Amino acid sequence: WQQALGLLAVMQQTAVLPDVISYTAAISACEKGQQWQQALGLLAVMQQTAVLPNVISFSALISACEKGQQWQQALGLLVVMQQTAVLPDVISYNAVIASCEKGQQWQQALRLLAVMQQTAVLPDIISFSAVLGACEMAQQCQRALGLLAVMQQTVLHYLQCQGIRSPGVSFL
């Protein structure tokens, strides 16, 4: 992560302006180095230099916050995405949900799953697993069972949309 930040500094010193790809790569390096504050600092620099972050930038930022166990920051970034007209995708939501799971915020995780469905972002196995994990840690067994039913409905709906007949599989 330090090399990535150093490279960004060299780019600026040599009049090579970093673009969204450069910043996103540096944010991703900070994520891997568990440097969530540095990653958020790069978002601030992007905003100051009129470089618009994209969904990949935000997803890397959210993942950095998740690795740093900063669920509030991750949720805040989801709001910033919406304010800047960057549409969250399943990866963005999964990172925030995973952050909520680690922060033992099962209600937030369930709410985010509902938001995904309301905004036509199809939850995947990672989405459901993280919410189930959050419910499990909070000993919310009934919620987890209800979630399994929602998961089954989601899979069946997806299969129908794809023109695939139901295999008759049950998650319960």
Predicted pLDDT at 167: 56
pLDDT of 87: 96
How far apart are alpha carbons 103 and 114 in whole angstroms? Answer: 19
Task: Write out residues in the chain with pLDDT < 70, as ranges.
Answer: 155-159, 165-172
pLDDT number for residue 148 = 77
Got the DSSP string for 113-148? HHHHHHTT----HHHHHHHHHHHHHTT-HHHHHHHH
How far apart (Å, rounded) are the C-alpha atoms in residues 43 and 51? 9
Helix axis angle, 90-102 relative to 125-137, nearest 10°? 10
Q: Are 109 and 134 in contact (CB under 8 A)?
A: yes
pLDDT digits (tens, 9 = 90+) for 81-128: 999 999 999 999 999 999 999 999 999 999 999 999 899 898 988 999
Q: Provide the phi-psi class of 50: left if phi over 0, else alpha when psi is between -120 and 50, else beta.
A: left
pLDDT for position 170: 52
Q: What is the pLDDT of residue 18?
A: 92
For residue 141, the model assigns a pLDDT of: 74
What is the distance of C-alpha 94 from the center of its chain? 4
> pTM for this structure?
0.83
